[in-house]
C-alpha cells in the first residue's frame, strides 16, 4: 500500500507553526538519542514554547550532546579553537544549556533514559526526571509518557519532492519504527516529523523509508549542520591491556559487540594486531598473562571473519570492516543462515550444491513455484530475470525444465541459471551510530555495495532474541553464533554484580541502555559470553580507589548473571563458579594495592577460606608492571596512542598531556607542592604559541604567573 504524501515545509518556523496547529494542548516530544536529534527544529520549538507559558512541553530523549567547554579558564582557552575546528556549526540544544544552568522554565521538562556520562550528577531536575529503563523498553515507555510528536534528523538523496526522492533514518532507526507501530496498533495519534540534514550519511536497508513515512518533512537548509563528532581519545596502557585480554576471547566466525571510546578502540586495534601480526600478538599477550593462562585463549587469525551486532555502530567497527576482520556475512533467512552455519552451504558462493542443500532442507520444492523463484532470485541463488513459464524456467534464450530432482535438468539449471554468490549479506547490524568526523565522512563516501553490508535497524531486533514476526527469533539465534558481547562497567562486587549506571546515593551517572539486554542474551545463547570490562582502579578527589569492591548499594547487573570480567590485570571467568571461586578470581585481577583489603572483607563475611592467599603470579598487578610490559610494543607501533587517528594536532597533544598532569596534581596536594618546587627551581618557559593558546601570554597576576610556571614545568 502506497504511503501518503508528506507535507513539505521549507522553513523551520513554519514547521513549528504546523506542529503547534496540529497538536492542540501540551506537546510531548520524542527525539532519538545521539546525533539523530534535529537540533535546529528542537531549538525552534523549544524557544517558541518557552516564550508561551500557556503551552507545556515535555521532551523525552537520551544522550543529549553538547560542544565541549572547559571546566576552568585554562581549559576553556585551550578548547575554543579546537571546538571551532572540529564541531564547526554544530548547534547546541537550548534545553541542554538551560538544564545545566538550572534555567528550564516550569512549563518545560526534559526526561532522559540515558545521560552523557557523569554530566548531570547533582543536577536535581535531571536526576528527578530520569527514566530508568532497558533500551528495548524505550518505545513502550515513550508511549507511557504520552508522546504525541516524534521528530528525527534524516538523510536524503534525489531531488526534493521528486519520484526518486528517498529518505533514511540514517544513524537512528533504533526506536522510531517500533514507536510508530505501537501507536498505529492502538489507534493513538502521533505526528511524525522528519528534518533533513544533508550531512547525515544515507544508510540503506532497514534505515531507508519513503518520504510518506513522515507526516511533515522539513527541508530548510538551516537544518543542515555538522554532526557531533567527538575526537578519538588516547588509548591508555590499561585500556590496551583490557583490549588485548578481551580480543583473545573472540571466536573466529563469531559475533561481536563493542562500545565507543578508547576502550572500544583498544579492542579493535588488538583484534587487528591478532589478525595481521600473529607472532607479535602472542608475545604481547604472553607478557601480561599469568603463566598457564595463554593456553586457553583464542590466538589465531580470523579466517572466517566476524559479524558485528551492536546497538552502537562505532568507529572501531568501521576500522574492523576496513581491515577485513568484520566480514562474516549473515542473511535474513533462518534456513539459509542455518545451512551456512552447519556447513551444508560451504560459503556465500553459489553452485549446484546450493540448490541441492536447499532442496534437502525443505526450503524449496521441485518443481519450483513462483514464490520460491522470487525467493531464490532475491538471495542471489538464481540470476535476476529468471521466470516461470508453465513447467519451464526461462532466462533469455534458456528455457529449462523446472525439475530439480532429475539430474540432467538440475545440471542444466546449475549451468545456466545460477547466480555467482548469495546476495543481501550483512556484516554489521547497528541501532545507532556515533563517531569522529572522519567516521561520518567515510560512510558518506563509501561505495554503495560496501555500504549495503551495514544495516542500521531496530533496537528490538538487535538487543534481544525475541522476534516480532514468526521465525525472527530462530534467525537471530542462527546469526549470532559464538557471540562475544562486550560492555564496560564502573565497578564489580566480589560476588560478581556489576555497577554500570549509577551510584549508591541514587545519583544517575549514565543509564542502563542495552547492557542488561546483552548480558541476558549471552546467557540465553548456547555459545555466547557476556564480557564486562573495567579499569581496576578509579580516582576521586579523595584518592585512588579499587573498582573491585566487596559490596555496593546499587547494581546494574545482578550477581546471578555474572560471566566474564576483565581488568587490565587479567580475565576472571565467573560462569557457574561458587561464591568462593568468584571472590578468588576477582581478587586475582584486582590492583595489588587493594588485594589485602579485599581478602580481609571476603573473609570477614564468610566468603573466603582463611587459608587462601593471593597467588604469587597475581601479586604484581600494578600500573608500572603494565607499562614495563607494553611500552616496547607501543614504541614498535603495534599499540599506538591513536591507532585510528585524531583530530588533535601534535602541539595540542603536547599541551593536553601537560594539562592532564597539572590537573591531576591539583587533586593531590603533596604532588602539587613537589611539582611547584621543581617548576620554580628549573625556571622553564613554554613556547609563546602555547602560552597564547592558554591565555597565559600576558600573565601579570601571581596566580597566572604561577600556573604559567607549572604548565611549563610539565611540558
At 540-590, the pLDDT tens digits run 878 899 999 999 999 999 999 999 999 999 999 999 999 999 999 999 999
With b meaning 16 or more CB within 10 Å and e meaning fewer, what string describes 280-301? ebbebbebbbbeebeeebeeee
| 97 in the same domain as 185 | yes
Q: Is there a domain that residue 625 lies in?
A: no
Hey, which residues does 543 pair with through a beta bridge? Answer: 540
Q: Is there a domain that residue 589 lies in?
A: yes
What global pTM score does this model have? Answer: 0.94
Length of the chain: 715
| 312 in the same domain as 410 | no
551: CATH: 3.40.1080.20
Q: Which of 165, 191, 223 is the last residue of a domain?
A: 223
- Nearest residue to 433 (alpha-carbon basis) of 447, 451, 413, 406: 451
186: CATH: 3.40.1080.10
Residue 41: give the domain boundaries. 7-223
Looking at residue 542, what is its pLDDT? 80
Q: To the nearest 10°, report the CA torsion of 542, 543, 546, 547.
A: 60
CA–CA distance, 19 with 29 (Å, rounded to integer): 11
- Nearest residue to 556 (alpha-carbon basis) of 475, 499, 484, 505: 499
Hey, which residues does 150 pair with through a beta bridge? Answer: 30, 192
Q: Is there a domain that residue 632 lies in?
A: no
| 118 in the same domain as 26 | yes
| 385 in the same domain as 438 | no
| 546 in the same domain as 436 | yes
Q: Is there a domain that residue 251 lies in?
A: yes
**One-letter-per-residue 3-state SS of 553-584:** CCCCECHHHCCEEEECCEEEECCCCCHHHHHH
- Nearest residue to 247 (alpha-carbon basis) of 279, 281, 287, 280: 281
703 Cβ contact list (under 8 Å, min separation 6) = none
Q: Is there a domain that residue 290 lies in?
A: yes
| 204 in the same domain as 130 | yes
Looking at residue 2, what is its pLDDT? 62
| 347 in the same domain as 310 | no
Looking at residue 683, what is its pLDDT? 65
Element (H, E) at 34: none
Q: How many CB atoms lie within 10 A of CB 711?
A: 23
Q: Is there a domain that residue 634 lies in?
A: no
| 482 in the same domain as 566 | yes
Question: Residue 480: what are its φ and ψ, rounded to 5°?
Answer: -90, 45
Looking at residue 663, what is its pLDDT? 73
Q: Which of 223, 252, 286 is the last residue of a domain?
A: 223
| 26 in the same domain as 76 | yes
Looking at residue 676, what is its pLDDT? 61
CA–CA distance, 373 with 389 (Å, rounded to integer): 12
Q: Which of 416, 450, 478 is the last residue of a domain?
A: 416
CA–CA distance, 244 with 173 (Å, rounded to integer): 32
Phi-psi region of 496 (alpha: psi -120 to 50; beta: other; left: phi over 0): left
C-alpha cell at 291: 603463566
Q: Is there a domain that residue 2 lies in?
A: no
CA separation, residue 661 to residues 232, 622, 675, 714 (Å): 20, 19, 10, 7
CA–CA distance, 534 with 557 (Å, rounded to integer): 14
| 491 in the same domain as 379 | no
| 598 in the same domain as 690 | no
Question: Which residues of the chain are modeled with pLDDT < 50?
Answer: none
CA–CA distance, 572 with 581 (Å, rounded to integer): 10
CA–CA distance, 227 with 198 (Å, rounded to integer): 10
Domain count of the chain? 4
Q: Is there a domain that residue 628 lies in?
A: no
| 127 in the same domain as 33 | yes
Amino acid at each position: 500500500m502506497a504511503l501518503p504524501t508528506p507535507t513539505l515545509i521549507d522553513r523551520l518556523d513554519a514547521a513549528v507553526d504546523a506542529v503547534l496547529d496540529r497538536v492542540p494542548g501540551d506537546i510531548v516530544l520524542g527525539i532519538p538519542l545521539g546525533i539523530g536529534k534535529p537540533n535546529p527544529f528542537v531549538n525552534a520549538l523549544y524557544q517558541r514554547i518557552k516564550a508561551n507559558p500557556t503551552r507545556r512541553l515535555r521532551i523525552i530523549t537520551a544522550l543529549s550532546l553538547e560542544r565541549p567547554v572547559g571546566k576552568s579558564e585554562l581549559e576553556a582557552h585551550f578548547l575554543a579553537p579546537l571546538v571551532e575546528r572540529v564541531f564547526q556549526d554544530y548547534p547546541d540544544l537550548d534545553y541542554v544549556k538551560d538544564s545545566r544552568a538550572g534555567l528550564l522554565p516550569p512549563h518545560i521538562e526534559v526526561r532522559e533514559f540515558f545521560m552523557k556520562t557523569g554530566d548531570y550528577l547533582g543536577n536535581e531536575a535531571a536526576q528527578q526526571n530520569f527514566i530508568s529503563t532497558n533500551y528495548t523498553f524505550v518505545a513502550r515507555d515513550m508511549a507511557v509518557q504520552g508522546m504525541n510528536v516524534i521528530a528525527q534528523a534524516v538523510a536524503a538523496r534525489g531531488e526534493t519532492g521528486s519520484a526518486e526522492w528517498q529518505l533514511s533514518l540514517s544513524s537512528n532507526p533504533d526506536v522510531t519504527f517500533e514507536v510508530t507501530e505501537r501507536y498505529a496498533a492502538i489507534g493513538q495519534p502521533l505526528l511524525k516529523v522528519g528534518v533533513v540534514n544533508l550531512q547525515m550519511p544515507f544508510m540503506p536497508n532497514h534505515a531507508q523509508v519513503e518520504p510518506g513515512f513522515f507526516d511533515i518533512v522539513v527541508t530548510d537548509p538551516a537544518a543542515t549542520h555538522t554532526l557531533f563528532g567527538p575526537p578519538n581519545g588516547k588509548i591508555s596502557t590499561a585500556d590496551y591491556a583490557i583490549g588485548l585480554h578481551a580480543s583473545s576471547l573472540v571466536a573466529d566466525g563469531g559475533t561481536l559487540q563493542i562500545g565507543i571510546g578508547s576502550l572500544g578502540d583498544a579492542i579493535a586495534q588488538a583484534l587487528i594486531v591478532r589478525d595481521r601480526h600473529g607472532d607479535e600478538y602472542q608475545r604481547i599477550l604472553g607478557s601480561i598473562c599469568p603463566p598457564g593462562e595463554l593456553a586457553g585463549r583464542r590466538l589465531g587469525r580470523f579466517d572466517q571473519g566476524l559479524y558485528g551486532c551492536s546497538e552502537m555502530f562505532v568507529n572501531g567497527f568501521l576500522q574492523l570492516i576496513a581491515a577485513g576482520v568484520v566480514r562474516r556475512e549473515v542473511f535474513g533467512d533462518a534456513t539459509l543462515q542455518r545451512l551456512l552455519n552447519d556447513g551444508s552451504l560451504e560459503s556465500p558462493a553459489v553452485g549446484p550444491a546450493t540448490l541441492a542443500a536447499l532442496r534437502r532442507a525443505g526450503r524449496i520444492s521441485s518443481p519450483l513455484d513462483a514464490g520460491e523463484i522470487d525467493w531464490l532470485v532475491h538471495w542471489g541463488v538464481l540470476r535476476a530475470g529468471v521466470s516461470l513459464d508453465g513447467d519451464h524456467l526461462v532466462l533469455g534464450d534458456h528455457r529449462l525444465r523446472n525439475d530439480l530432482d532429475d539430474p540432467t535438468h538440475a545440471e542444466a539449471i546449475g549451468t545456466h541459471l545460477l547466480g555467482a554468490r548469495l546476495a543481501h549479506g550483512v556484516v554489521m547490524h547497528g541501532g545507532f551510530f556515533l563517531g569522529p568526523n572522519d567516521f561520518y565522512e567515510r560512510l558518506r563516501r563509501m561505495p554503495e555495495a560496501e555500504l549495503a553490508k551495514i544495516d542500521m535497524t531496530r533496537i528490538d531486533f538487535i538487543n534481544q532474541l525475541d522476534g516480532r514476526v514468526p521465525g525472527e527469533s530462530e534467525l537471530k539465534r542462527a546469526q549470532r553464533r559464538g557471540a562475544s558481547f562486550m560492555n564496560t562497567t564502573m565497578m564489580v562486587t566480589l560476588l560478581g554484580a556489576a555497577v554500570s549506571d549509577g551510584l549508591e546515593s541514587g545519583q544517575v551517572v549514565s543509564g542502563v541502555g542495552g547492557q542488561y539486554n546483552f548480558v541476558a542474551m549471552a546467557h540465553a545463547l548456547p555459545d555466547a559470553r557476556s564480557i564486562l570490562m573495567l579499569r581496576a582502579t578509579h580516582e576521586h578527589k579523595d584518592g585512588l580507589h579499587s573498582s573491585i569492591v566487596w559490596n555496593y548499594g546499587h547494581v546494574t547487573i545482578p550477581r546471578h548473571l555474572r560471566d566474564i570480567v576483565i581488568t587490565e590485570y587479567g580475565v576472571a571467568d565467573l560462569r557457574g563458579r561458587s561464591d568462593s571461586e568468584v571472590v578468588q578470581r576477582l581478587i586475582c585481577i584486582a590492583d595489588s594495592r587493594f588485594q589485602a583489603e579485599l581478602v580481609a572483607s571476603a573473609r570477614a563475611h564468610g566468603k573466603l577460606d582463611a587459608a587462601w592467599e593471593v597467588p604469587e603470579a597475581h601479586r604484581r598487578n600494578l600500573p608500572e608492571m603494565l607499562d614495563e610490559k607494553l611500552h616496547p610494543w607501543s614504541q614498535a607501533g603495534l599499540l599506538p596512542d591513536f591507532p585510528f587517528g585524531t583530530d588533535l594536532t601534535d602541539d595540542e597533544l603536547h599541551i593536553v598531556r601537560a594539562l592532564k598532569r597539572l590537573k591531576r596534581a591539583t587533586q593531590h596536594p603533596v604532588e602539587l607542592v613537589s611539582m611547584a618546587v621543581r617548576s620554580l627551581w628549573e625556571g622553564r618557559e613554554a613556547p609563546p604559541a602555547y602560552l597564547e593558546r592558554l591565555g597565559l601570554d600576558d600573565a601579570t597576576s601571581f596566580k597566572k604567573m604561577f600556573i604559567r610556571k607549572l604548565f611549563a614545568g610539565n611540558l
